[in-house]
Chains A and B, each alone.
Chain A
């Protein structure tokens, strides 16, 4: 058994000023297995991986790769030794082509000077064929959806002939179908004897794909067990250290009369065609569909940050033009965007500035002056209401965890007093505990009579929290289902209708 151990991390300890991020954590990865690493945000999963890749210097402990002690200084060194990582937040050269990104830092050359484009293309295609990825190697990264960019990242890891591949939240931006594809790739790699560390919050996936599960909590190792021995509730209990009886809060909202009508929206520069649906007061409507089915575009068109060719939006019988974000906010709309880092947070600004930016007129005095005191009060109210974990209001938002950043942005929108909330993947990259809180928040809003439109790639989430689900396919509405009575199969069938 011993010779099958591919990677061994022993007693890894890492301290940051004031926090013990890792406390003697050990992990053993066998050849040809998928080892899931689980834990809430802040449990130390990422820190452990960063110690492996030399992004952080570990204070103590040893790492052995195939029995030999290693101590990587950078992720490049790790890569060259066959340890690769597919990051949750992709760091890619977006203006460059797919193959440029794959061979970055090790371009094949002719005579050591000119880059051998032809070999690059051939090698890229070879890897893509092997993994059954259909992407043009010449395509520019920024023109592709996140899911395809992620596939490229995986191809890159494979192209290094990696022995160990770490997947950090690989499915957070993938649709069900793409997840299947990813799992096929992972299974193939496993059969080849690659050791895989799989970090995810999604229980169902973990149960399906992994052989072993290691759970961490508060920087400590909690348990490592064969996946077959653990039930979902066991994992959750280990992760949070308490029984989490339900993934979703009880549904208490009572949909009222029809409030929002979206009629025949067709996009000027996108694939949307004749999108129509209604939503009631106090109703949570889910938007389901595959990637690029037009869910995000629908929300953004309603909010006026994408140009519509045709179609109308009415709120309570009153037409809303929503030609820009300002106008939409005035009309009572709010949009929580999908890519938090790119279009949500103001990284270098503090929590307070991030909270009040959309509702500055609440703080205006004498028509010009912004009251510091009322900004402080509003911010504090939402820090308390959302239980945002932050040292102070003056903390820069980028130093918070994803879940807490999301809470700040939700707070920003609630301060604009919206009637219709457009939520695009509101729980992406957020741990189980915080997810529950966000669900509760959404339900509370519906209870107050707000209309919620919510896009999610996690089907259980839509089924668990929505009243009705509008399924989109190929830029059109493929059908509507009642969340209480529908099944995942029914939604999948609809989602494939116009593909």
Chain B
């Protein structure tokens, strides 16, 4: 490993040797390449001055909690983007699995309990439910992956279809047993505790257990992306599928598995979302994929394919959530919030693409 200080000194030396024009270009380049982080810093400072309690521990706890809720989804979708694809079905899969988890884990004495034959809620049933909804998410992802890989369809088309199909299933599910489209509520206390119970407090604000789960999942995904054959193959397929095929990579299974893994992450997100939303409605999870895709893109998972890092996705989710928290604190209304979010995605993409354009 190169010594960072020598590296820095060397680049300083190199920089000194450049002529004025190149110096200017180097500076502009480094500013533009880090523009997003620079803007974030300015933004944080501004918010902190306007609302001093923005920089409190409580607000940090709030941020961490939000990041933990949105991160798994982005980690799942990130893989699809590495394959130059995308996934539009994520939000609906979250909605469906959240509804399932909710129904499975309703209070025993709840008047509107949808299925009375379900077992009473205990830790084992909660874990079983979690595995079931993760498996259901994975199956939907598997379907996505199969159609993408087998028929060389663009993931946009495939996941658009599964998005619609899943929504249909959700609507049908919500009208089962005379439920008539009512939101699913009356979640058991055990389920709420398992997901949203207080792990510890930071500055007086509770940090829920799912922060821990998100950390574990992130570690798992980092391992899969960086340390396994599957991860290496994923990047190879995303970078050049033809070359990957000739090099002996099983392109079909790699594609299927990436989507399946993504589906599993949506299933897990649904399990968390059930508790976070309090009562699961038919529209729970709507457009969740937009935030996730945005976070990936901001974090440098490029649609060019074959590039992206877990750390980047974490940064992307943090940036989006930070903006959200800060703008809410500043009292910005929700319509402006959407406009700002859109503008940020656009800028992030443009700045990201700049890095891949061949300089001439």
Which A residues are closer than 8 A to B by beta carbons? 17-18, 50, 55-56, 303, 305, 324-326, 328-329, 335, 337, 342-349, 353, 356-358, 360-361, 364, 368-370, 372, 412, 416
Using a Cβ cutoff of 8 Å, how many contacts connect chains A and B? 85
Q: A17-B18, A56-B360 given as contacts; is B243 within 8 A of A344 (CB)? A: yes
**Chain B residue, CB-CB nearest to A348:** B306
- Chain B positions near chain A (C-beta within 8 angstroms): 14, 18, 22, 26, 223, 227-229, 232-233, 235-236, 239-240, 242-250, 304-307, 356, 360
Most chain A CB neighbours (cut-off 10 Å) among B243, B245, B249, B307: B243
Provide the residues of chain B in CB contact with A353, threshold 8 Å: 232, 235-236
Instruction: Decide if B239 touches A356 in the complex (CB within 8 Å).
Output: no
Closest 4 CB pairs of A and B: A346-B239, A329-B248, A360-B229, A348-B306
A412 to B229, Cβ gap below 8 A? no
Contacting pair B306 A346 (CB below 8 A): yes
B-side contacts of A360, CB under 8 Å: 229, 232-233
Interface centre among A324, A328, A356 (most CB of B within 10 A): A324
Q: A345-B240, A346-B239, A347-B240 are known contacts; what are 15 more A-B pairs with Cβ within 8 Å?
A: A18-B14, A305-B245, A305-B246, A325-B247, A326-B248, A326-B249, A335-B246, A342-B240, A346-B306, A348-B304, A349-B236, A353-B235, A357-B233, A357-B244, A412-B247
Which residue of chain B has the shortest Cβ distance to A397 in the bound complex?
B239
Main secondary structure of the interface of A (DSSP, over half): mixed
| Interface pair B236/A326, CB less than 8 Å apart | no
Contact across chains for B229 and A325 when beta carbons are under 8 A apart: no
With A and B bound together, what is the CA distance between A329 and B65 in angstroms? 48
> Nearest Cβ in chain A — how far from B150, in angstroms?
15
Q: A55-B360, A348-B305, A370-B227 are in contact. Are A337 and B232 (CB under 8 A)?
A: no
Asked whether A325 lies within 8 Å of B243 as measured between CB atoms, the reply is no
Q: Are B229 and A361 in contact (CB under 8 A)?
A: yes
Q: Per a CB cutoff under 8 Å, which of A324, A343, A348, A368 touches B228?
A: A368
A358:B248 contact, CB within 8 angstroms: yes
Contacts of A416 in B (CB 8 A): 248
29 contacts between A and B (CB under 8 A): A17-B26, A18-B14, A324-B250, A325-B246, A325-B249, A326-B248, A326-B250, A343-B240, A344-B243, A345-B240, A346-B239, A346-B240, A346-B306, A348-B305, A348-B306, A348-B356, A349-B239, A349-B306, A353-B232, A353-B235, A356-B232, A357-B236, A358-B248, A358-B249, A360-B232, A369-B228, A370-B227, A370-B228, A412-B247
Residues of A within 8 A of B14 (CB): 17-18
Q: A346-B306, A364-B229 are in contact. Are A325 and B239 (CB under 8 A)?
A: no
Complex alpha-carbon distance, A236 and B119, angstroms:
84
B20 CB, min distance to chain A CBs, angstroms:
12
